Amino acid sequence: MSTDKITFLMNWHATPYHAPLYLAQAKGYFKDEGIKAAIMEPNDPGDVTEIIGSKKVDVGFKAMIHSLAAKARDFPIQSIGSLLDEPFTGEVYLKDCGITPDFHTLKGERIGYVGEFGEIQIDELTSHYGMSPSDYTAI
């Protein structure tokens, strides 16, 4: 039996999000199919889209919003599946910090975000409550 090789590049260090891939490797599913799989973690998660688009790896994991951005930049990528049926993101704050569910208490505050599209997501979320980006500072 010939052995095919495939490289997977994670979008972050190993998390439960990646469990199906690590489980397949641990259970020998790749080996059973004659596939030699290499699972790699990025040094900088911000580089993953470019590495995938430059054809240095076979398959990469990225949030769908980053995949759409890569297509918009004409990276030669194709989305082939999804591990989650919703984004792996959310908003968190301390229970007793005074933030209200309508986010109006964020006016004049600094809001932290992660990733290329974090600020866009914050702007979109707060716009549903009648706020504009000038009402807060995204950091």
37, containing H or E segment: strand 35-40
With beta carbons less than 8 A apart as the criterion, state whether 50 and 43 touch. no
User: Is 128 in the active site?
Assistant: no
Exposure string of 35-48, with b = 16+ CB inside 10 Å and e = fewer, is eebebeebeebeeb
C-alpha 123, offset from chain centre: 18
Choosing from 13, 66, 104, 128, which is the catalytic residue? 66
List active site positions.
66
